[in-house]
Chain A
Amino acid sequence: MKQFENNALSITALTKVYGKDFEALKGIDLQVAPGDFFALLGPNGAGKSTIIGIICSLVRKSSGSVTIFGKNIDEDFSAAKQFVGVVPQEFNFNQFEKPLDILITQAGYYGIPATVAAGRAEKYLKQLGLWDKRNIASRNLSGGMKRRLMVARALIHEPKLLVLDEPTAGVDIELRRSMWAFLKKINKQGTTIILTTHYLEEAESLCRNVAIIDRGRIIQNTSIRELIKKLNKETFIIDIKDKIDVCPEVVNYPLSMLDASSLEVSVDKNRSINDLFKALNEQGIQVLSMRNKANRLEELFFDLVEKNLVSADGEASDE
């Protein structure tokens, strides 16, 4: 990855030990360029939320350094914090307060007077479809509205870096798509965005660069495009016209039966699928339709995490 003079985020040799011996982060190095849309992927417990917690100072690091737009969080705490807006995974606003009050109060914590904050609150509440709900107690908002309220709150001081910890977890498809559109828009306007997500489809459609973290280490840090190039196999589900009792055999195409009228096959990236159709046709099997079994990125993700698991086990047994 390219090095920039003033990266939006620059993390060097970051470690975090919880308690006496649980190493959540084992020396993370990460650079995020200004204007990037960056995904931080990893299974549960990988260390994603710990990294975000350290960036926004809710978690104390054990060692290493974190710099946000050139400001070190240890040396220039106040300036570094002005640059960051954070949307946490869990709802963390006062459920008894009104959305408008929550936003104006949050702006106040950044030193923004209420008169200025009121204008910004109106702008973001309107953009996120919450203006009509501005004066009701936040506990009465739906789950999706609460999540959008947290996005509006994170933007109220107009940060240069927006960090979102699983922003669309548990929201319906329509809302997820509208959230994506909104995030794309503010990224286009210049806000650097880092998000963690379990939805790999989300990373694939939103982000330009990605780091995959597992067991406190970054195991892959590249562009989404490069990552997808690494895919060497795809799994397809094939629906067939007539029911069959025995799974057909085709050389170089390992088929398995899912049920009497559908098959699963794993195909090398450089092998043509036409040969498979031809071979099936010769055996009297007509293909009705075909679809990807899973998201391509998802397959690669599991592959990488699995490899890391094997190498971690290897290291453990060497010790």
Chain B
Amino acid sequence: MNNQQKWVAFSTIVRREIRRFMRIWPQTLVPPVITMALYFVIFGKLIGSRIGEMSDLPYIQFVAPGLIMMSIITNSYANVVSSFFGSKFQRNIEELLVSPTPNWIILTGYVVGGMSRGIGVGLIVTLLSLYFAEFSLHSIPVTIGIVLMTALMFSLAGLINAIFANSFDDISIIPTFVLTPLIYLGGVFYSIDLLGGLWKAISLFNPILYMVNAFRYGMVGITDINIVGSFAMVGLFSALLFTVALFLLEKGSRLRS
């Protein structure tokens, strides 16, 4: 395949992925918006007004960046894991596997599809948050950078999950038992300065903590941890996941017999 053909193959996968989540928008776009609206009402307005300030910010301003990041993480992951596993389940992944499309293009195509949904939902949730709180962007490069890298990392993780999955149970285990606890314990709702020494040290092993804090820094200018360290951590994880995902595709694990 020449470069032009590779570009056509890549854009075909991305277009198909975007078409898929737009076609089923009541399942992909509406639920996260409703969930986040409830979070804003309950944690931001009702409970938040009683909490007062967190890290010198009104609680709704503190929690909003975390909630936006939460929707980006879950939607990037969910898009790739469900789309790729769905293709495996219906066996239409074979359409791609018999074609000359290189594995790295298959990988980047699915990942960009996942990022599109993650960022799209993130944007909708950001617009929604403006109804509940006022923001002024502290750092546009940090905000955009961390959003892109987070969406990338969780799209890659979703793809790896889908490659290994043999049943629909297998694609819900990681989000339920790993992703959700990591998000809830990743500083979305509280500053880790509230935690004691041991729990604070344990929290530092949670990659989501770095993403949420970097994003919060980009939006409102406060963070519990070093921003450069956050980018390094997310970059390192993304590189590792990209290598693993590409290796699995090249090897044909659970895809070719």
Contacts and interface: CB of A to CB of B under 8 A. Distances in A.
Contact of B1 (A78, A90, A106): A78
Contacts of B16: 105
A84 B98 contact: yes
Nearest to B99: A109
A101 B16 CA distance: 9
Given A59-B256, A59-B257, A60-B252, A111 B95 contact: no
Contacts of B223: none
A217 interface: no
Contact of A88 (B1, B6, B94): B94
A106 B90 contact: no
B257 A106 contact: no
Contact of A81 (B13, B19, B92, B98): B98
Contact of B12 (A18, A82, A84, A109): A109
B8 A111 contact: yes
A1 interface: no
B96 interface: yes
B247 to A, nearest CB: 15
B92 A110 contact: no
Given A58-B94, A58-B256, A92-B94, A112 B100 contact: no
A151 interface: no
Contacts of B13: 108-109
Interface string A51-83: 001001111100000000000000001110110
B204 to A, nearest CB: 42
Contact of B97 (A58, A108, A111, A114): A58
A109 B257 contact: no
B13 to A, nearest CB: 8
Contacts of B86: 94
Interface residues of B, number: 31
B90 A112 contact: no
Q: Which of A58, A91, A108 has the most CB of B within 10 A?
A: A108
A96 B94 CA distance: 16
Contact of A92 (B1, B95, B99): B95
A86 B94 CA distance: 10
Contact of A60 (B12, B100, B257): B257
Contacts, number: 82
B5 A94 contact: no
Contacts of A114: 12
A95 interface: yes
A94 B101 contact: no
Contact of B96 (A90, A109, A153): A109
Contacts of A18: 257
B11 interface: yes
A295 to B, nearest CB: 32
A21 to B, nearest CB: 16
A112 B256 contact: no
Interface of B: 1-2, 4-6, 8-9, 11-13, 15-16, 19, 23, 86-87, 90-92, 94-102, 252, 256-257
> Nearest 4 A-B pairs (CB), nearest first?
A111-B5, A108-B12, A109-B99, A92-B91
30 contacts: A53-B257, A57-B256, A58-B94, A58-B98, A59-B256, A59-B257, A78-B100, A78-B102, A79-B100, A81-B100, A84-B98, A88-B94, A91-B91, A92-B90, A92-B92, A92-B94, A93-B90, A93-B95, A94-B92, A101-B19, A105-B16, A106-B95, A106-B99, A108-B8, A108-B11, A108-B15, A110-B101, A111-B6, A112-B5, A113-B8
Given A59-B256, A60-B256, A94-B92, 5 more contacts: A57-B256, A59-B257, A78-B100, A92-B90, A111-B8
